């Protein structure tokens, strides 16, 4: 029997995103019913309210097609904040190719979250939206985030976390994620397996408290944690010590 290595697992995940890149944005909006837009705006606004220094660089890891980068720019403009550069980093060529068409004003780089092509303490803010659960070597990624962030800089994580406790909302969410989402996602993308992966990846991920513990171990202190929409999505903002 051949055991699957971490590298093989990561490669399969990247290939899956390459395959659904063309329909990813449409599927994302339909499946989230557009609610994720407010989640992203809140992440930006809460971070800007905490980080008052001049912003030379915001890095969006696992940037996909660049949605979060767009919201960083939009919310910064609303807040009267100047950002010198917004950089998107993702291992999927398919996703970043779509991103380059959507946002020609941003720079996109192909790279893994565990090996960011950046200098030590070069970024003011680093975000990762619905991507950290897809990083096989998560602890290595957190150490890498700490390396590239300036002291006092912020890591901003939006993610689908595992439920701390199971109640009626868990039953409703579980039904949607496991029964409805794979069908809708499969119809839009013609790749049902990719959208069966989503609920499985959430169940195999962390609770929000476990996520905060791992961040603490990597040198971060959580300043903000909030769950949205029946705990479907969680926002964690943590400062590098």
Written as six digits, the tokens of 107 are: 């720079």
234: three-class secondary structure by DSSP: strand
122 annotated binding-site participant: no
Closest CA to 86 of 64, 60, 120, 117: 60
65 annotated binding-site participant: yes
208 annotated binding-site participant: no
Measured from the Cβ of residue 60, the count of other Cβ atoms closer than 10 Å reads: 28
Q: What is the DSSP letter of 94?
A: H
Written as six digits, the tokens of 234 are: 């969680």
Closest CA to 76 of 49, 107, 36: 49
Measured from the Cβ of residue 192, the count of other Cβ atoms closer than 10 Å reads: 14
Give the Cα separation of 155 and 137 in Å (integer): 17
| Residues placed in the known binding site | 65, 90, 129
| Residues placed in the known binding site for S-adenosyl-L-methionine | 65, 90, 129
């Amino acid at each position: 029997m051949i055991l699957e290595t971490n590298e093989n697992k990561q490669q399969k995940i990247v290939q899956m995103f390459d395959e659904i890149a063309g329909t990813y944005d449409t599927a994302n909006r339909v499946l989230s019913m557009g609610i994720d837009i407010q989640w992203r705006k809140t992440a930006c606004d809460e971070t800007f309210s905490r980080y008052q220094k001049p912003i030379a660089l915001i890095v969006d890891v696992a940037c996909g097609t660049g949605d979060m980068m767009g919201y960083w720019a939009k919310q910064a403009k609303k807040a009267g904040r100047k950002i010198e550069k917004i950089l998107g980093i993702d291992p999927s060529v398919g996703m970043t190719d779509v991103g380059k068409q959507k946002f020609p004003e941003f720079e996109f780089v192909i790279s893994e979250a565990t090996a960011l092509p950046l200098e030590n303490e070069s970024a003011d803010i680093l975000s990762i939206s619905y991507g950290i659960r897809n990083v096989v070597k998560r602890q290595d990624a957190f150490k890498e985030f700490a390396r590239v962030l300036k002291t006092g800089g912020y890591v901003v994580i939006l993610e689908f976390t595992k439920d701390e406790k199971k109640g009626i909302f868990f039953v409703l969410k579980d039904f949607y994620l496991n029964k409805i989402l794979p069908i809708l996602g499969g119809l839009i993308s013609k790749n049902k397996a990719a959208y069966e992966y989503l609920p499985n990846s959430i169940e195999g991920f962390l609770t929000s408290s476990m996520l905060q513990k791992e961040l603490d171990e990597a040198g971060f202190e959580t300043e903000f944690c909030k769950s949205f929409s029946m705990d479907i999505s969680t926002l964690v903002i943590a400062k590098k010590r």
